[in-house]
Amino acid sequence: MSSNKIVLTSSDGESHEVEEVVARKLKIVGPMIENDCPDKAIILQNVTGKILALVIEYCKKHVDDDQVDASEEAKKKLKDWDEEFMKSPDLETFVKLMQASNYLNGLLGLTCQSVEDSIKDKSVEEIRESFGLENEEEEAIPRNTLELLKTQDLRCFLNPNNCFRFFL
């Protein structure tokens, strides 16, 4: 395998030289090499240097992911590294990393899984707060009260989150 180098440049002019196989972990890079940037210097308009450095760190760590003969221990170590990697940035950086992962089409699984792990036990109010969602309770999010009453266990009324829905 030839060790081709690609230069990835961020929106604020920071350049990183990486192996082609590492760069290709970002699905956006492949077509760019083939079509737009035959001289292998790629400018990533939507990603700042700080975020790009993090992304490259992840890609370098995961470059051998497709090899099937990794031991259970190696897989566990990688998983632990991923967890630490997700915990280390501050919140603002983490969100920027998420946006970058969407644009670059890489790390998506990991970033989305991290968010999911943190939100799954949250209340609806906290979700609205975090995602900046408009509370649309006043609009008709429809409820067929009678049908719900027929099929639900009456104990559900003990849950305060359920009560006000039935008595709108």
Binding site for another protein (CB under 8 A): 72, 87, 90-91, 94-95, 98-99, 102, 108, 112-124, 126-137, 139, 141-144, 147, 151-156, 161
Provide the minimum distance between the beta carbon of 164 and another protein in the complex, in angstroms, as a whole number. Answer: 11
Nearest residue (CB) to another protein, 1 versus 154? 154
Name the 3-class secondary structure at 152.
coil
The answer to whether the beta carbons of residues 97 and 89 sit under 8 Å apart is yes
Give CA–CA dist 97/92, Å, rounded: 9
Looking at the Cβ atoms of 1 and 87, the one nearer to another protein is 87
Give residue for tokens 């081709």: 4
Which residue lies nearer to another protein by CB, 22 or 97?
A: 97
Least Å distance between CB 87 and another protein? Answer: 8
Q: Phi and psi (nearest 5°) for 28?
A: -70, -25
Smallest separation (angstroms) from another protein to the CB of 79: 12
Minimum distance of another protein from residue 40's CB (angstroms) = 29
For residues 15 and 152, which CB has a smaller minimum distance to another protein in the complex? Answer: 152
User: Can you tell me the distance from the alpha carbon of 20 to that of 15, in angstroms, rounded to the nearest whole number?
Assistant: 14
- Under a CB-based contact definition with an 8 Å cutoff, are residues 51 and 93 in contact? yes
Task: Retrieve residue 99's tokens.
Answer: 């946006």
